[in-house]
Amino acid sequence: MTAPPEVGDPPRETDDATVMSESVRRPERFAILYDRYFEEIYRYLAARLGTEAADDLAAETFLVAFRKRHTFDAERGAVRPWLYGIATNLVAGHRRGLVRMLAAFRRALAHDAIEAGPEDRVTGRVDAASVRGPLSKALAGLSAGDRDVLLLVAVAGLSYEEAAESLDIPAGTVASRLNRARKRVRAVLGDVNPMNGDADE
């Protein structure tokens, strides 16, 4: 049993949707949502991109949410999946930026590749493949939609309904994408446990 609030204590915080709608008129109320969900969003981003990128993207997730708080529709969904949707979109944008950057590096270094022999190129590819674990390879083989659903459910721990809200797709689509992603990951991994590289017993 909890003690009754003391006189002068701030009233107990309300649900997320109410806090979000109040934050439109009183921006300082948004800090409540930041405090509730920042660590969770950060962990999700760190699992997907590493801690360095997660530092920036977690902050950006809440900046985007703050700027768009007036567009949040409490009737459509909850704040938590909405934040995961923003974070997932930022992951996609981050990856597109990395792809563009790597393509620019490849173009800039193209003349070096011509000078290097085929043995050097093959060795580089083999070394890169050995650094990536079997799970990374399996995830890389998934479509972006399947990968996002799998990671929202498996890493972030969202329910099918929350993942659907995050990605603005039907829950049935989440179920089918998740099923397809799991089958493809199992097919790539075979009997190998991605956590330690050993065959499952």
Give residue-wise pLDDT tens across range 22-45.
999 999 999 999 999 999 999 999
Quick one: average pLDDT of 11-18?
74
The CATH code of domain 13-98 reads 1.10.1740.10
Tens digits of residue pLDDT in 127-151: 344 434 677 778 888 898 998 998 8
Distance CA 56, CA 188 (A): 32
One-letter amino acid for residue 55 of the chain? D
139 closest CA partner among 99, 194, 60: 194
The CATH code of domain 133-190 reads 1.10.10.10
Distance CA 137, CA 68 (A): 35
Tens digits of residue pLDDT in 47-77: 998 998 899 999 999 999 999 999 998 887 6
Distance CA 149, CA 178 (A): 6
The backbone torsions φ and ψ at residue 73, rounded to the nearest 5 degrees and listed phi first, read: -110, 105
Q: Between 80 and 98, whose confidence is greater?
A: 80
Residues of the chain with CATH 1.10.1740.10: 13-98
DSSP H or E segment with residue 153: helix 144-154
Q: Is the pLDDT of residue 12 over 90?
A: no
The backbone torsions φ and ψ at residue 13, rounded to the nearest 5 degrees and listed phi first, read: -65, 150
194 closest CA partner among 156, 140, 157: 140
Q: Distance of CA 122 to CAs 119, 137, 148, Å?
A: 5, 18, 31
Token pair for 61: 């997730």
Q: How many CB atoms are located within 10 Å of the residue 144 CB?
A: 11
Quick one: average pLDDT of 147-174?
90
| pLDDT above 90 as % of the chain | 44
One-letter amino acid for residue 183 of the chain? K
Q: Is the pLDDT of residue 91 over 60?
A: yes
Residues of the chain with CATH 1.10.10.10: 133-190
Q: Is the pLDDT of residue 119 over 60?
A: no
61 within 8 A of 87, measured Cβ to Cβ: yes
Q: Is the pLDDT of residue 106 over 80?
A: no
84 within 8 A of 152, measured Cβ to Cβ: yes
Q: Distance of CA 109 to CAs 114, 124, 125, Å?
A: 9, 14, 16
Poorest-confidence range of 11-15, 122-126, 145-149? 122-126
